[in-house]
Amino acid sequence: MQSKKKQSESAIKKITISADEIKKYLAQNAPKAYKAKELAKNLNISKTIYLKFRQTLKQLVADGKIIRFPKGRFGLPQSTPEVEGELHVKTQGYGFLRREDGGEDVYINLKNMGIALHKDRVLVKLLAIRSGEMPEGVVIKVLERARSQIVGIYRRGKKIGFVVPDDIKIMKDILVSDEDALNAQNGQKVVVEIRNWEHANKSPEGVITEILGFPTDRGVEMESIVRSFGLPHKFSDKLNEQAESIPGATPADELARRLDLRNEIVFTIDPEDSKDFDDAVSLKKLGNGNWQLGVHIADVSYYVQPNSELDQEAQKRGTSVYLVDRVIPMLPEHLSNQICSLKPDEERLTFSVIMELSSSGRLLNSEFHQSVIKSKKRFTYEEVQAIIENQLESPEFKETIHTMHELSQKLTRSRMEYGSLDFDIPEPKIILDEQGVPIDIKIRERKDSHRLIEEFMLLANRVVAQYIGITLSKQVNQTLPFVYRIHEKPDSVKIQNFIEFVNALGYEFSAAKSTRPKAIQTFLAGIEKEQDRKLINQILLRSLMKAKYTTQNVGHFGLAFKYYTHFTSPIRRYPDLMVHRLLKAYLKSPHADNVDFKLKMLEQQCKHATEREIKAMEAERASVKLKQVEFIEKFIGETFDGIISGVVTFGIFVEIPQYFIDGLIHVNDLEPDFYVLDEKKYCLTGQSTGKIYRLGDPVQVKVARVNKDEKLIDFTLATEFRNQKQVQKKLNSKKHKKNRHS
């Protein structure tokens, strides 16, 4: 009787179901996974509550309690590996996890992102996959938000307001109640902070913290970029007061202990619009016929003490940010533009690298001194270039500048002999009027005057790194904790793709040579065609690793230096300030206590500095893109010569070299065909016409559309097909023949 009773009870369809019951069943049958209908059948779920049952499943997935496996199967999280990293979302909705352990990227489906956003640091559980397939995972926890605030357009709905993020990689609108809207008007740019977001199947809720204005208002779009990248756009009153309280006059006892270079011919060479002069140079001939080159760097570490509030803010910022219309400094203006800036005819504290070089430019020895200088002149690059070309007279400095130019050329030749790579990629310089409107875009020229300073700074940076990494470490018989600027060898997969690409172009280059900078340099020098050289340089740059800061020295591949650091810009880069402090400490006592602790602390600071550098670069590019979009808008309908600069499944990107402006030609605007992307050969090929659009090919384009809100530019091919009907007829004819033969 009891057995029959149980059977009858089990046959009764359930009209309620709890999350705990679902988890219990999955636990009892682990590691099996079930489709929703299969699970409902096994749990005797009635049709009347099936939709609610599906909602419960979704909620359990969103909460990370169960996993939705490929092919729509549900199960408990298994003891599969969990990895941490940064989530990178693509505009199509899916994303990839860039793992912190350096492992292969992990594919993340939109449904498996949970409440993570683009560039959040997340914990991901790997899903079981077939051998040879790309790893796939599900976000189970957000470890650190990439941003606390989001910029977007405020829209007022019927019942509630919401913010549409500017960043199209943020797929969710943020709901904002009226009491949290700061009286924002429909269509205004605002800054919103997410306060509540518990489940992926619900929209996040937020609070508007700032109203920037309407997108058409002057300066609003640039302010949006500043807020979007989380750039600290102003210093607190307290920090400004602390900076301004630092006296400009140096105590006599401090001057007395420093190397006095106030009577030496020392001067600065900087951009015309620069205000923070953090490096000065000097050169004189010694009695033995050698040259004494001095690189004198602003001694910021004298004014900014470790762990002070000023230091903490500088470390947090990591770097100065140079947007098109402004500079967001790492240090308050009183420090960066006043007492630390090496202004002419004013005493300034410096940290000097004094180097003796032979007449051929070979480094013989070097010294490091805390010093005091009085710059004799503030030169611009243009003025020095004019002196080099004998177009400007400067009796007091002409001989020194000409000798510096000659020495810098010898240093360049020597560096190239070792295999340094010099791509010399042109950069845009955007000219603004008084209202901040772009009126022209020019090439930011890199002339001999720029190279002169670059070579001297490269040498000083290398000399400091070699002194710590080789000389002092050998002297004390221990590896001293230090900050290096490294550039790792190319990724094997990317470099193999590069090799296949250049081989397809008809150039010979082997994998054996790809790990030697000198071999790459020789290969690049042998490319005679200008178009091919530009294209191959572009692809090679994409194949190389990115430079970064670390305590683990592996050398600098691009420069072909075994030891390299950043020492010459402490006003605008925090790692340089770290290097100054370390060098001072080791000059005083060349030993290191608590090495493991110092290495760990320095490595954390290096990682943060690298992250801030990347964010600054992205913000700078965004500001350039903004002004490029504003500039090109007035040329809608006009035709330009262009070069294909990118190839993707949905079309081709074309650059107008005249203005360094990129736009998209969608596949729908190409010759009618079905196009296939060859990622290794960087080309789109039409399957019927055989038409190929390859990276680097010249094309004529017409500016078709400009979307200022999304910073998008659309081009069309300027040379229209003479008879679209003939093209379509040709395609139809091919299809007819194919069908007839089949």
Can the peptide bond before residue 31 be classed as cis, meaning omega within 30 degrees of 0? Answer: yes
Q: Regarding predicted confidence, which is higher, 485 or 41? A: 485
Give the class (CATH, top level) of 149-217. Answer: mainly beta
Per-residue pLDDT at 130: 53
Q: Regarding predicted confidence, which is higher, 203 or 79? A: 203
162-187: average pLDDT = 94
Local structure of residue 510 (DSSP, 8 states): -
599 Rama sector, left if φ>0, alpha if ψ -120 to 50, beta otherwise: alpha
Give the class (CATH, top level) of 636-741. Answer: mainly beta
Count of residues for the chain? 742
Short-list 278, 157, 342, CA closest to 572: 278
Per-residue pLDDT at 738: 39
Paired tokens of 107: 């594919």
Least confident of 300-304, 401-405, 529-533: 529-533
Rounded to whole angstroms, how far apart are CA atoms 601 and 584? 18
Express each pLDDT in 711-741 by its tens digit: 899 999 997 543 343 444 444 554 444 343 3
Per-residue pLDDT at 448: 96
Query: Which CATH number does 82-144 carry?
Result: 2.40.50.140
Q: Contact 240/332 with Cβ under 8 angstroms?
A: yes
Burial class (CB in 10 A: 0-12, 13-18, 19+), 318: buried
Asked whether residue 384 carries a pLDDT value surpassing 60, the answer given is yes
Q: What is the pTM of this model?
A: 0.83
Per-residue pLDDT at 501: 84
What is the pLDDT confidence band of residue 1, given thresholds at 50, 70 and 90?
A: very low
Q: Regarding predicted confidence, which is higher, 458 or 681? A: 458
Short-list 333, 244, 228, CA closest to 618: 228
Short-list 229, 95, 221, CA closest to 707: 221
Per-residue pLDDT at 9: 43
Secondary structure of 329-363 in the HEC alphabet? CCCCHHHHHHHCCCCECCEEEEEEEEEEECCCCCE
Q: How far is residue 34 from each of residues 27, 43, 73, 326, 510, measured CA to CA in Å?
A: 12, 11, 5, 57, 50
Query: Which CATH number does 2-75 carry?
Result: 1.10.10
Mean of pLDDT over the chain: 89
Do the first three CATH levels of 149-217 and 636-741 match, i.e. the same topology? yes
Express each pLDDT in 580-619 by its tens digit: 999 999 999 988 788 888 999 999 999 999 999 999 999 9
Paired tokens of 678: 């060859």
List the domain boundaries for the chain: 2-75, 82-144, 149-217, 237-485+565-615, 636-741
